[in-house]
Structure 1
Amino acid sequence: MASATDVIVIGAGPAGLAAAHHLTEGGMRVTVLEATERVGGRMATDTVDGFRLDHGPQLLNTAYPELHRAGGLRGLPLAPLAPGALVRSGGRAYRVGGPSGTRAPLGSARDRARLGTALDRLAATPTRRITARPESTAALALAGRGFAPRTVEHFLRPLLAALLCDAELGTSSRVADIVLRGFARGRACLPVGGAARLPERLAATLPPGTIRFGVRAAHVAANAVHTVDGAELPCRGVVVATDAHAAAALLPGLRVPGFHPVTVVHHAAPAAPLREPVLVLDADRLGPVSHTYPATAIDPTRAPTGRALVTSVVLGPPPDGSDDKTIRAHLADLYDTSTDRWDLLSLRTTAHCVPAMPPPHDLRRPVRLLAGLYVCGDHRDTSTIQGALFSGRRAAAAALRDLSADVPPRAA
């Protein structure tokens, strides 16, 4: 008897949901198996006393192509940050790239003009030219690009560390260029209402009954999925869309990358420490916080009326001896305000948060293992939401090429 499902997608994170969308649009009958009781994977949001608290450090970008191409995401409400950043350096705050322009400590007018020209040129550079460049680490590439040292240390280094979640900038220079190009082309942004809104939107626009919750896969083949409770689910193709460790458990031999651990800290404040919805960077690296932003100045829906939410990111686990008092002291310096009345809402460290992308890094790691068996996730492209969504598109396209020739006719 023919299977009622053409393709089984394992995992209801952004990559798996994107793959399910593209497969459904291509005429496939799709079932998504999700081991937990919710969609989103690491892209999750908790509600605590009316505050919407993201698990992860994801800042999206309005220039991500998949936010405009992926079915179900068109029209997703996004809350953009102000252009540029507020950089704390030498005990002072400098607005970089904002309405007032770029000013010290980035050096002379010539240095600032060189930075602007470089970013404009990068914004216009196609991906194929970036991937043809010699590859090194992001740190080495910055040192060799001819920027003034102050431009690198007081803006580009802390900015890329925040965007890549990589404090030492050991990431591939090609990946760094692609991420910096997005910064130059678009605006950093947050999904209105929390990070979980993105996968929830994808899930809501799939056909009813597509997602089966509480079903964990134990073994996979090109024509079936075996679950931990002993069920065998026949199909014509399988897309493994889990995190890298779970994918390797189902697909022996799949390489697991290293990871950058990240800690996300949320504080409730009586009022927003800044009115402007801007990313705050620490160029001095004198405390545990890499970057922070006044979340409710960006997206007011993230806190109850009359309260403010401040979200901060530590790259790695908090250093030994660091606690909330240490973090708040650092935030007091970064925002130049008292944090004595700030309340800790959440401090969450995710050990396997962001797949590392050191050189040499394949920007298009294979998603087709064999006819009928595919894999996708942020560990297959770039370690961003754009990379996760695009890998889902690539896996679906490969499956459609393999399976569409003999799709059985549907009943009228």
Structure 2
Amino acid sequence: MSASEATEAEVVVVGAGLAGLRCASVLADAGREVQVWDAADDVGGRIRTDVVDGFRCDRGFQVLNPAYPELDRCVDVAALRLQPFGAGVGVRRERGDVVLAHPLRAPSRLPGMLARRAVAPKDVVALTRWAHGALRPGHLKRGGDTSLVTALDRSGVSGELRRVIDRFLTGVVLDDSGATSNAFALLLVRTFALGVPALPAGGMAALPRQLAAPLGGRVALQRRVVDIARVGSGWQVTADDGSRVQAREVVVATDAPQAGQWIGGVSATMHGVVTDWWATDQPWQGPPMLWVDGRSGATGPVVNTAVISAAAPSYAPAGRHLIAASALLGPGRPEPTEDQMRAHAATILGLTGADWQPVIRHVVPDALPPQLPPLVVRKKVRDPSGLWVCGDHRDTASIQGALVSGRRAAEGVLRALV
């Protein structure tokens, strides 16, 4: 086919991230002719895995929670061979460290944590007061939403426990201002109570690749869309290589900044993250947890760190070990140096870091859309222009949200094609 000729399809999906792949899969399963175009050299969007000298390093530290309801609808979870982290969080204290088990997933461990003064009785009361909405999700809809910082203040969560919650959730939502929707934070807490975050044996890239596999030749990579134009009752999509396709419907399945080029009313604001990965020959003696700095005077850039290979042995060659640490990026927040990241991560883990060898650094300025109050779980998937849109900026800012939004967009397209 020459560049001047245009192919035809019922639907074109622009973007091969989770939302776009989920959308295309639903359309293909319904017997519709769909094409997926993406500018990258592999599927996955922001979910990618680099393999460096046998180490699997996900672009921006990510985990997969098997409790996400949408996963069972579209993914063979068992085939991912998930490797779970411990159900809790490791905490660097003023003196020594402690592991805080998830109070909703492992309540039987609370007495032991109280006995070791990991938490005080008043902390349990305050935490329960704040987290009860996670156990009663209907409460989130009945009550007014507010910011996370306001909700924690009202519940009386303070001291070391407050620092741990703040820093743990900072690493999840990539925002340390406390402005995140409290309802969204409680949805996350509920998910953590129902399932333990894990990593696929083949890296996080295994998730989008599994979604893409049944689509086969319907996915075209390294095809950057430069124009989407109305042609009669349909659309013409043009790529930078001159390829053109005419379609009845077009779904924009990119991240928020890119979607804003085609769709009105989409905020381009995103939270960023930088993740450093190191290799070491020294085995880790601690639990396979995500670790945070619980000290009151902590000033380092790291929001969380983990010995990844302790939870996911497939991420490192035999006899070697892989460590990751992440820090926030954004306005007024310069990118930390590798030395700063290494020193803080080593302190949190109680190690020296002297023998850590850098593997790779990932800088992801557009990692997650903000989730501000009041929480709007379902945003419209059709633009007034007639274009469809999906992505984690249309539902919750999560893997669950991306998958759900892709399905919702596909269901809307199917209704329009009747």
Superposition TM-score, scaled by structure 2 size? 0.88
**Superposed displacement of residue 255, structure 1:** 1.9
Matched letter for residue 130 of structure 1:
L
Q: Secondary structure at the match of 2:415?
A: helix
Over residues 318-357 of structure 1, what are the superposed CA-to-partner deviations in whole Å (9 max), with x where a residue is unaligned?
9659422222221221111221000111222211111112
**Superposed displacement of residue 106, structure 1:** 5.3
Distance 1:393 1:73 in 2: 18
Matched letter for residue 374 of structure 1:
W
Structure 1 pair 321/293, CA: closer, same or farther in 2 (3 Å)?
closer
Assess if the C-alpha contact under 8 Å between 2:85 and 2:196 holds in 1: yes
Counterparts of 1:150-169 in structure 2 under 5 Å?
150=159, 152-169=161-178
1:402 aligns with 2:413: no
Q: Which residue, 186, 189, 195 being the options, matches 1:180?
A: 189
Residue in 2 that maps onto 1:333: 347
Distance 2:80 2:399 in 1: 14
**Superposed displacement of residue 19, structure 1:** 0.7
Matched letter for residue 386 of structure 1:
Q
**Superposed displacement of residue 230, structure 1:** 3.7
Distance 2:194 2:250 in 1: 36
Residue in 1 that maps onto 2:148: 138
Residue in 1 that maps onto 2:86: 82
Residue in 1 that maps onto 2:65: 61
Distance 1:135 1:117 in 2: 15
1:93 aligns with 2:97: yes
Residue in 2 that maps onto 1:190: 199
Counterparts of 1:13-412 in structure 2 under 5 Å?
13-71=17-75, 75-97=79-101, 101=110, 102-103=113-114, 107-112=119-124, 115=127, 119=131, 121-126=132-137, 128-147=138-157, 149-150=158-159, 152-206=161-215, 208-220=216-228, 221=230, 222-251=234-263, 253-284=264-295, 285-316=298-329, 322-370=336-384, 373-403=387-417, 405=418
Q: Secondary structure at the match of 1:63?
A: coil
Identity %: 35
Distance 1:351 1:91 in 2: 34
Distance 1:362 1:114 in 2: 26
| Runs of 5+ unmatched residues, structure 2 | 1-5
Structure 1 pair 133/117, CA: closer, same or farther in 2 (3 Å)?
closer
Assess if the C-alpha contact under 8 Å between 1:87 and 1:154 holds in 2: no
Assess if the C-alpha contact under 8 Å between 2:40 and 2:221 holds in 1: yes
Distance 1:166 1:274 in 2: 31
Structure 1 pair 138/113, CA: closer, same or farther in 2 (3 Å)?
closer
**Superposed displacement of residue 214, structure 1:** 2.0
Q: Secondary structure at the match of 1:223?
A: strand
Q: Secondary structure at the match of 2:393?
A: coil
Matched letter for residue 291 of structure 2:
V
Structure 1 pair 231/329, CA: closer, same or farther in 2 (3 Å)?
closer
Assess if the C-alpha contact under 8 Å between 1:22 and 1:71 holds in 2: no
Distance 1:357 1:179 in 2: 12
RMSD (Å) for aligned C-alpha atoms: 2.5
Superposition TM-score, scaled by structure 1 size? 0.89
Q: Which runs of 4+ in 1 moved over 6 A?
A: none
Over residues 201-254 of structure 1, what are the superposed CA-to-partner deviations in whole Å (9 max), with x where a residue is unaligned?
111132x31101222222224433222344431122111101112111123x23
Residue in 2 that maps onto 1:408: none
Q: Secondary structure at the match of 2:391?
A: coil
Structure 1 pair 19/398, CA: closer, same or farther in 2 (3 Å)?
same
Distance 2:282 2:306 in 1: 13
| Runs of 5+ unmatched residues, structure 1 | 406-412
Assess if the C-alpha contact under 8 Å between 2:284 and 2:310 holds in 1: no
Assess if the C-alpha contact under 8 Å between 1:72 and 1:205 holds in 2: no
Q: Secondary structure at the match of 1:31?
A: strand
Q: Secondary structure at the match of 1:17?
A: helix
Matched letter for residue 247 of structure 1:
A
Residue in 1 that maps onto 2:3: none
